[in-house]
Structure 1
């Protein structure tokens, strides 16, 4: 467990998967008793229970990781999950559905006034929900015209805390003049509130940050509470149908990515702004949004091999 991630939220998720799906099958078996046939039967049972492809892949990778550790520690010679007869579940991700600008503006119109800033923060910076909730005006560098994404708000086993952004890495995002105006306008109408939370764990050191977006009286919203009370309410108020997966707050992040790609921002730069460690992941996620460069390719080749223009119907010498 400790080797999987330093993040308590990730550990909690792994433990939940172990307790609900993996221990009931493997807990009473010695590692040497787990054969390829055991893995085959388990994969078959997950299919029979109609677990999603992604969930099957996550569970299988967890068990396979345990068995890899057993090989490293010389408890067993081979990982039974790697046998040729074991079909490894493959995760599948549907193509990202990007909101049109009209939907972005409609949802923003449905939000109550003090939470409208959530849309610019998500669609103008590409922030995740926890990063939107944890954003502070103190993260703005007006001289460099950048913002530093330093924290997110997350809930682990009922405890709300500050934590580093996903992946444990801070990042810098360009700040446009329009986004700075959005932040300043919101701060004028709804002054930021100082919030103190434990850092990284339930018993972590208390840290105080001025948060841009809180409820009345500085009320703090966890991600789940914000989704159920504020986000869903915006769709109802705007008369927009909520489509579950396609309409979570992550849709604002996808809109940001599509906006930058449409204006030829490179995949490497976009990956940095989104906080992706691997630009290849960014490319795989958004490859269908990358605009065609066919015309630019033609122009590049013509610049080398293009023929002189005709003059009065006669080809130039």
Structure 2
């Protein structure tokens, strides 16, 4: 009895007539097959008229066995993770989010602790559906959570549940059809050019430098605190490479970016002169201009500038718009760009927004023009 060889795991075909394998095509005896069943036992079948019929049956059995193994693996995942508490599953998921910066991890932990775990932490993963997610949003609404917090918390829950969906825990996504909280950022409070001129000189020299960087280049607070002469990559270009992270007090990656990533922004002449003026007057440490006054080996602290801003506001000596915060100087940059017809796509990139929708929501009202004026402009070419 001879056997026909096939790929490992597929089984074999043979004849028991005693003829050599070379004569099987002309031999009148039927083929038999031997294979391992899904249960792991050896099985045989006979009565196949030719080799093709035997191979077709072996292929069918082999594919059924592979499908059974995949199904078994999926069933094992469902058993393992389906009974897991949401909090435990989330901790496993969080361990894989290695791309998150320290500040992002801190924000995630805060959302989990104060909003997500109290409502969902003890719930079993296999109990989630769209009604559970919708009820979670209503719980946040009743508790008085702000729309920004609701939106951020929902985004995290959605990411976690979609990860579980990819594992096969749910036949349908539990967030499908759920209406996400609609966060509409408050309108930015922006100083006028006249107000900015008095604000920038209302504090010490470090304050002036920070205001110039925020209002002239669109830097965030922490990015301005990390200003460095090495970032002057051209006469009119400043490269933002890092920031002073509030939670750690150390230099770290930019928001929404990995370590080593950067963005280039326009560098107005006045801002360049402000940087060079400060460096000439106070010197630098490895190119950094702003350091802790009592220990120049350490980065500049957020609270130092925040405290100075509060003192300036409390003095009442400077005309500051009602509700304006230090961040309003960065808003001035966006306003200046948009009011001078610079495309919002460029502004979004320079400001480091993760999504241009953020730029639209905050600054759409600053963009010049209207439907009426657009109609007039378009009509001019149509009637020419």
Class of the TM-score when normalised by the shorter of the 2 chains: 0.7 to 0.9
User: 1:270-299 CA deviation, whole Å, 9 max, x = no partner?
Assistant: 223222354454334322111117668746
User: 1:140-180 CA deviation, whole Å, 9 max, x = no partner?
Assistant: 135x4311111101033xx3221122221311122222222
Q: Which of the two has higher C-alpha Rg? A: 2
Give the superposition deviation at 1:55.
1.0
Q: Which residue of 2 aligns with 1:160?
A: 249
CA contact 1:60–1:88 (8 Å) conserved in 2: yes
SS in 1 for 2:171: coil
TM (norm. structure 2) is 0.66
1:21–1:298 distance in 2 versus 1, CA, 3 Å: closer
Q: Does residue 103 of the first structure (1) align with residue 186 of the second (2)?
A: no
CA contact 1:107–1:235 (8 Å) conserved in 2: no
Q: How far, CA to CA, are the matches of 1:112 and 1:7 in structure 2?
A: 31
Which one of the candidate residues 288, 294, 313 is aligned to 1:235?
Answer: 313
Q: Which residue of 2 aligns with 1:250?
A: 327
SS in 1 for 2:201: helix
Q: How far, CA to CA, are the matches of 1:132 and 1:237 in structure 2?
A: 24
Q: How far, CA to CA, are the matches of 1:59 and 1:277 in structure 2?
A: 17
- Between 1 and 2, higher relative CO (CA 8 Å, sep ≥ 6) is seen in 1
Which one of the candidate residues 325, 342, 349 is aligned to 1:272?
Answer: 349
Give the superposition deviation at 1:113.
2.9
Q: Which residue of 2 aligns with 1:139?
A: 231
Q: How far, CA to CA, are the matches of 1:269 and 1:96 in structure 2?
A: 19
Q: Which residue of 2 aligns with 1:120?
A: 212
Give the superposition deviation at 1:190.
2.1
Q: How far, CA to CA, are the matches of 1:167 and 1:76 in structure 2?
A: 30
Q: How far, CA to CA, are the matches of 2:175 and 2:351 in structure 1?
A: 34
CA contact 1:154–1:222 (8 Å) conserved in 2: no
Q: Does residue 148 of the first structure (1) align with residue 239 of the second (2)?
A: yes
Q: Does residue 287 of the first structure (1) align with residue 364 of the second (2)?
A: yes
Equivalenced residue count is: 284
Q: Which residue of 2 aligns with 1:211?
A: 288
Q: How far, CA to CA, are the matches of 1:53 and 1:75 in structure 2?
A: 30
Q: Does residue 221 of the first structure (1) align with residue 312 of the second (2)?
A: no
Give the superposition deviation at 1:9.
1.6
Q: How far, CA to CA, are the matches of 1:180 and 1:235 in structure 2?
A: 27
Give the superposition deviation at 1:300.
7.0
1:267–1:140 distance in 2 versus 1, CA, 3 Å: same
Structure 1 residues without counterparts, runs of 5 or longer: 195-208, 307-317
Q: How far, CA to CA, are the matches of 2:144 and 2:252 in structure 1?
A: 34
Return 69-78 or 29-38, whichever deviates more: 29-38
Q: Does residue 66 of the first structure (1) align with residue 160 of the second (2)?
A: yes
Q: Does residue 179 of the first structure (1) align with residue 179 of the second (2)?
A: no
Q: How far, CA to CA, are the matches of 2:377 and 2:141 in structure 1?
A: 51
Return 16-25 or 210-219, whichever deviates more: 210-219
TM (norm. structure 1) is 0.78
Q: Does residue 38 of the first structure (1) align with residue 132 of the second (2)?
A: yes
1:261–1:41 distance in 2 versus 1, CA, 3 Å: closer
Return 14-23 or 214-223, whichever deviates more: 214-223
Q: Which residue of 2 aligns with 1:309?
A: none
Q: Which residue of 1 aligns with 2:30?
A: none
1:111–1:69 distance in 2 versus 1, CA, 3 Å: same
